[in-house]
Amino acid sequence: MSRIAFVNGRYVPLREAAVHIDDRGYQFADAVYEVCEVREGRIVDERRHLQRLARSLGELSIPSPVSPRALGFVLRETVRQNRVRDGLLYLQVTRGVARREHAFPPVGTRPGLVVTARARDRAKAERVAEAGIAVITVADNRWERVDIKTTALVANVLARQAAREAGAGEAWFIDDAGFVTEGAASNAWIVSREGVLVTRPAERGILRGITRTVVCELAAASGLKIEERPFRVSEALAAREAFITAATQIVMPVVKIDGTPIADGKPGPLSRSLRARFHEAAEIGD
């Protein structure tokens, strides 16, 4: 079965799907995106992802391409047409097509909208989670507005590639003061010596991950103690557990940082239980 993409109003086979070379997403990464998990054919946390999309668009003064209702329909239809049971949904909104000129295009330029969906092997992801992943650390050299989910991800691309070359699954960015900000495509967490969940506040330096928000809610509902504060690599190395969160990873245990094992070098019980219970707290669509 050929995969189908939604591109600016039409559902087209992936191999025919194309955008204009003057699309500002292509020219300037003048675009925002979202990635949602699809589980048993349903979109996970759609409402929160669309809320964050609206915020990203607002911060960049990109008009919404379609109404939230129409977008919801397109998302579901893309999942349906691709017959995705377990997988990922990707959506990107760009400032549209215009002659290359840095300043905004004329008012009325139509924003671009692309939606794709693909299946993923859930059993394989579970096997990865059972082993846990290694992370490396790299200097955070990104711009200040990483709270906006833009497609300007080249620093993240280089960080993730460095991780891959080091045999690791993720790179953690470190800010100028020596604190972990987040992963190349995930939020970073530890379980402190005292058993407290620690993750950086979402006010500065990170993307407010939807998975992060849901894990915070799940932890609070389970009576676990959470501290939203920055932490250093040294604290992470001495921690009981570490993990990352993202729509693509859910809760993924981290077992090594820069080659040094965390605790006994195995996924910790809290990380495993938060992963197992994540979907109790997530909003699962129809």
Q: Which of 95, 212, 256, 275 binds ligand PDD (CB under 6 A)?
A: 212
Q: Which of 7, 57, 207, 254 binds ligand PDD (CB under 6 A)?
A: 207
Q: Which of 62, 84, 198, 210 binds ligand PDD (CB under 6 A)?
A: 210
Q: Which of 245, 253, 267, 281 binds ligand PDD (CB under 6 A)?
A: 245
Strand partners, 94: 31, 112
Say if residue 257 is exposed, middle or buried (CB neighbours under 10 Å; 0-12, 13-18, 19+).
buried
Q: Which amino acid is at 167?
A: G
Residue 247 · residue 258 · CB < 8 Å: no
Q: Considering beta carbons, is residue 146 or 239 the nearer one to ligand PDD?
A: 146
Question: What's the min distance (Å) between Cβ of 88 and ligand PDD?
Answer: 8
Q: Considering beta carbons, is residue 97 or 169 the nearer one to ligand PDD?
A: 169
Quick one: angle between helices 68-81 and 46-59, nearest 10? 120
93 touches ligand PDD (CB under 6 A) = no
Residue 283 · residue 46 · CB < 8 Å: yes
Give which of 95, 77, 109, 111 is closest to 5, Cα–Cα.
Answer: 77
Positions in 159-198 near ligand PDD (CB under 6 A) = 182, 185-187
Residues 6+ apart with CB under 8 A from 216: 199, 226, 228
| Pairwise CA distance, residues 114 & 220, whole Å | 36
46 touches ligand PDD (CB under 6 A) = no
Q: Considering beta carbons, is residue 117 or 247 the nearer one to ligand PDD?
A: 247
Based on the residue annotation, tell me whether 149 is a catalytic residue of this protein: yes
Residue 95 · residue 25 · CB < 8 Å: yes
87 touches ligand PDD (CB under 6 A) = no
Q: Which of 17, 248, 263, 273 binds ligand PDD (CB under 6 A)?
A: 248
Q: Which of 149, 225, 256, 266 is catalytic?
A: 149
- The catalytic residues are 149
Residues binding ligand PDD (CB under 6 A): 35, 156, 182, 185-187, 207, 209-212, 245-248
